[in-house]
Structure 1
Amino acid sequence: MNKREFEALINKPPNIRYEYFIKKVVDYEEVWGLYDDGWATALDEESNLLIPFFPKKEFAENCAKNEWEGYKPRVIDLTEYINDWLSGMSNDGIKPSIFPNDDNTVMLNIDVLLADLEDELDNY
Structure 2
Amino acid sequence: MDTSINPDRIKALLQNDNEQRYKYLLKEVTKNEKIWILTDEHGCVMLNTDSEDCVPVWPNKEFAELWATDDWQTCEPQAINLKKWHAKWTDGLADDELAIAVFPVPEQDGLVVYPDELDYQLEQYRTKKA
Normalised by the shorter chain, which TM-score bucket? over 0.9
**For 1:29, which of 30, 33, 42 is the aligned residue?**
33
- Cα distance, 1:42 vs structure 2: 1.4
CA contact (8 A) 2:99 2:112 kept: yes
Instruction: Verify: 1:91 aligned to 2:95, yes or no.
Output: yes
Instruction: Verify: 1:62 aligned to 2:35, yes or no.
Output: no
Superposition TM-score, scaled by structure 1 size? 0.94
Which runs of 5 or more structure 1 residues have no equivalent in the other structure?
none
Superposition TM-score, scaled by structure 2 size? 0.90
Q: What's the secondary structure of 2:101's corresponding residue?
A: strand
Within 5 Å, which residues of 2 pair with 1:1-124?
1-37=5-41, 38-46=43-51, 48-104=52-108, 105-122=110-127, 123-124=129-130
Percent of paired sites with the same residue: 28
Aligned residues: 123
- Cα distance, 1:57 vs structure 2: 0.3
CA contact (8 A) 2:55 2:98 kept: yes
- Cα distance, 1:35 vs structure 2: 1.0
Q: Cα RMSD between the aligned structures?
A: 1.0
Q: What's the secondary structure of 2:44's corresponding residue?
A: coil
